[in-house]
Structure 1
Amino acid sequence: MADSSAPVLLGCDFSSSPSRRKPVVLALGRREGLRVQLTALECFDTLAAFGQWLAQPGDWVGGFDLPFGLPRELVQALGWPEDWLACMQHYRGLGRDQIRAQFAAFCRARPVGGKFAHRATDGPAGSSPSMKWVNPPVAYMLHAGVPLLLDAGAHLPGLHAGDARRVALEAYPGLLAREILARRSYKSDDRAKQTPDRLIARNDVVHALEMGQTRLGLRLKLSHAQRDALVQDASGDSLDAVLCLMQAAWAQQRHAEGDALYGLPQRFDGLEGWIVTA
């Protein structure tokens, strides 16, 4: 049995425009030692419903697949506040059209091959620039997601002091999936690309997590039904939520061992943020 006094762990596969077809997916679990038990998968087809869930009383440590900050280079070029909270409050006040227009103008002024500004974490994590507004639209994910975390009173280590019993960390499922699969693809929202090879790849990811075959050193514990659900979800959303859950479990383990920053680097840019386990 997992320790019932330990905080709930959660992994979130986020969508900036959730729907019944493409919801926000939450993987809930608990850690006991080096084992992580998946207890539930929950879906939310509106941002309001997800925000209400986050705002409920309860202790948790969560890994969220959305950027928590913008590149310092971009923020300075636009003349936005360089304090993280002030920058986020300014950003949430903009509409998506305004964000796209300002970011596109920034990119137009830069040379081919270097259009986007990057955060320091993008290199080691292999993540997309948090200012991208298409493929994937992570700039809109930040715009939609971080305000929900702030409104829920969450604590973002190294960025924002909130309720220390509700800890939000920036996670990235692709970082852990690449460690297992290298360059093999395991998901697609396009039905025509939901191939047997991708199903085999999802099965390989789940097997590696169950066997503890990642540098996180944690083993995922699943029921047969949960395992089938993760492998059969061709969009990869459920599996991505579980990958974020494992990153949150690693971070919670670091904190239990005395690391106030949940495994984040001791010195990272407090405007840009950092992806946990990168």
Structure 2
Amino acid sequence: MAYETKSIKDILDNINRGEIYLPAIQRKYVWNDDQITRLLDSIMLGYPIGTFLFWKVKKAIINDKEYSMYEFIKDYHDRDMNKNPPAPQPFPNPGDETMWAILDGQQRLTSLYIALQGSMSRKLPRKRWNNDDAFPKKELYFDLSSEKIDDDYITYNFKFLTNEEVKKNKDNGIWYKVKDILKYSTEDLTKVILDSDFATNEVAIYNFSLLHTRLVRDDIINYFEVVDDSIDSVLDIFVRVNSGGTVLSKTDLLFSTIVSHWNDARDKIDDLLSKNGTYFDIGIGSDN
């Protein structure tokens, strides 16, 4: 089967409809905010963001084999939501429904889901973990007036900001909440621009239109499907694909093999490695 393509909006809609999940062989989400904003910058520049590999399988097979699946994190929180919630087990009334489990690209796809559908709550330095105020909720904003900033590697200025930070920065850019643009069709854009506070700013109009093109219209997600009912075959593909980037350690391989056959292994091992609130990261999996 040849590679296929989708728009970012379409792939996010697939996740929201419960059509894409994470298999237990994948590690936790580990990207930082700089990696996310660089990904968005690359998308705006039209750079390739790598291919994705999906395992296509019937939900009934997942139920029958009792394979563990996890949902995507939407509203990331350093303390309260840093692990993927389990998917329904079993899937109710699966019929002939198929689903995708992502084998390569989960860090990129999770980053896009958080940035374009959810929020980010990182712990502030020098704040206690039991202090709820230490985790301000931030959403991804784009400075529509940005052309080139100081960093030679960045062209478009994306930042995770709180509502208060947006208000404070209103005189230092035209900050637009990125997820809002997914609501509009191409036909809506002219009216949205005319009704906006940047209607006379040519740079902002260009950036707004380009943002819509990249996220809604362009088929940026380049993916390949693996169709197989056997977790062992899928595990072999997972190891081969991930070893092509960052070589998997013996710990990585052992973890992936265990969780592919032990239903609750991912959560049990994670709990075992957590001691007195300290998490010992053994670095499972990779994402190119």
- Range class of TM-score, shorter chain: under 0.3
TM-score by length of 1: 0.25
TM-score by length of 2: 0.24
Q: Which has the larger radius of gyration?
A: 2
